[in-house]
Structure 1
C-alpha cells in the first residue's frame, strides 16, 4: 500500500488558461472554481477543441495533475506536459494516461451481469477523476493538457476542476482505523398514517483518518499550511492509495473539503516523528 496523497492549494489556481475551443458561457476559468458541476465545456469532441494550456506566470513545483468531475469516456486518453517554453518544447514531463480507468470492482457483481468492459456510465455523484503523478517533481511554468476523446457520445468534453501542483505525501501513512462512508442527506418525513416520504438528495462520501507519526517538518510545514491556507472553505483531492488496482482507486479517491481542523499534538518524545493529527473530509459534488 502506497501512502495517502493530498493535493491542495495548487499553483494552477493562479494560472491563466487558454487554448482549445470552449463555450463562452462554460469557459476554461470554470476549472478554477471548487464546484465540480460548474464545468468548462468544449464546443466539440475534436482533439483541436479539447485541449488547454495553463500559464503559471513563473516556474513552480509540479508533480501531480487532476481533471475532476469530467465526462471522459472509457476510450479517452489524457496527455500531461510541463515545459518552461510557451511552445511546449523541451518538456520536463510528458505522459499520456487513460482518462477513465475501469470503475467496477471485478467480482462485485453476479456472474453474467458483470460488464466485461469493466465500465458503467454513472460515476456519480461527483463524476470522473483523472489523476496522474509524475515520478519526480519539476519546476515548470506551462502545463499543457491534451484530451483525446473524439468518440465521446456527448459530442463534447466537460471538466469541472483542474488541479496541478505537488501533492503532500506523509512519511508515515495513516494509522489503522481510517474510515470511508457514504452520507445520505435525504430528508425523511412521516405522515399521520405512518407512511414515510423521502426528499431525495445526492449521496456523498466522507473520510476520516488519523496520523500518529508526523515529523516536525510535516507538522509545522505541510499540515500547518493545509489548515491555515485551505481551511474548511477550501478544497483538496485525497488519493487514499495511489497503488490501488485501477477498478478500486477512484472509489477511495475523494475531491472534497475538510469538515474540521484538527489539533497538531505533540504526542510523544520521538526525535523523528513526535506529532499526531487527523483528517476529516466530505465530498464536494
Structure 2
C-alpha cells in the first residue's frame, strides 16, 4: 500500500501572520487560520487580490512539504499560490513556488450521475465531506523562513474570501497495514414511540479512521508515533491524507482533519536487532 501522509507538526501555527486586508471585528481576523476550530473563520474585506494574501514569518529556517487550507469558500475558478522564501519580501528568488493552482479540482465520480445531470466542471461539493480543502504536496521537503500564500478569486459571489484553518509543515509518511477502516460515524439517537413510530434526533455525522502500522523502524515509532500520542494527545489536531495521488474524486473523501480518539501505544514486534515496532492511529474528524 502507498504510505499514509500525516501533517502533525504545524510550524505555521506559531508563525507571525501579516499582509492582505482582513476583517478585524466580529471574530474574523487573520489569526483564526491558526485555531483548531475550522468554523472560526478568517475573512478578507473584499475579493481584491491585494486583500486575499498573507505572509507567515516562521522565525527560522523551517522544513515544509505539505500545505493545506481547510474549509474555504473559494469559488470553482479560485486559484492559489504558495511561495517559500528566505526574504521578508517576495521580490527575491524563491526557495519554492507552486505557481497559481486551482483550489477546487474535478471530484465527480465518472458515471455516478446520468447523462445531462453530470456537472460541466466535474466538481461535486459532496466529495469534500469535511468542508472544502485545498491541498498541495511538494515533490520534496523545502526549507525557508517565510511563507507567502496568495489567493485569486476576484469574482467570488460572496464578496470576500474566507477559510477556517491553514496548516503547513513537513509531512510524515508511513506505509500502512492492510485493513484500514474509514467509516462515517453517526451519533444520531433513534427511538421508538409507544405507537411504534421510529423517531431520530439527528446529530452531525463525522468520519473515523482506524489505521495500523507494522514493522516500523525505531525512528518512526519513537520519534513520530510515540510523540504524536505524547504531544497531541486527544486534544491536538492533525491532517491525515490517505493517498495524495488518489484521483480527485476519491482523494478528499479519504482526507480527514482529525484528533486522536484514543492512544494505542507502541508494540515491540521483533525480538532480534534491528527491532521493529507496531503502532496504530484511531482518529475522529474535527468538524
TM-score, L = length of structure 2: 0.93
> Helix, strand or coil: the match of 1:110?
coil
Alignment of 1:34 onto 2:36: yes
Alignment of 1:154 onto 2:158: yes
> Helix, strand or coil: the match of 2:178?
coil
Task: Report the count of equivalent residues.
Answer: 283
Q: Post-superposition shift, 1:124? A: 5.7
> Helix, strand or coil: the match of 1:208?
strand
> Helix, strand or coil: the match of 1:4?
strand
| Structure 1 contact 9–229 (Cα < 8 Å) conserved | no
Q: Post-superposition shift, 1:122? A: 4.9
Q: Distance in 2 between matches of 1:79 and 1:124?
A: 21
Partner of 2:94: 91
Partner of 2:148: 144
Structure 2: any 5+ residue segments left out of the alignment?
none
- 1:51-200 to 2 correspondence within 5 Å? 51-88=53-90, 89-96=92-99, 97-122=101-126, 125-170=129-174, 173-200=175-202
Q: Which digits, 9 at most, give the CA deviation of each residue in 1:101-122, with x for residues without a partner?
A: 2232222223332223111345
> Helix, strand or coil: the match of 2:89?
coil
Structure 1 stretches of 4+ moved >6 Å: none
Q: Distance in 1 between matches of 2:29 and 2:144?
A: 24
TM-score, L = length of structure 1: 0.94
| Structure 1 contact 82–93 (Cα < 8 Å) conserved | yes
Q: Post-superposition shift, 1:222? A: 1.4
Q: Which digits, 9 at most, give the CA deviation of each residue in 1:14-34, with x for residues without a partner?
A: 111111111113011111111
Partner of 1:12: 12
Partner of 1:214: 216
> Helix, strand or coil: the match of 2:226?
helix
Are residues 242 and 2 of structure 1, via their aligned partners in 2, closer, same or farther at CA, if it must alter by over 3 Å? Answer: farther
Superposition RMSD on alpha carbons, in Å? 1.6
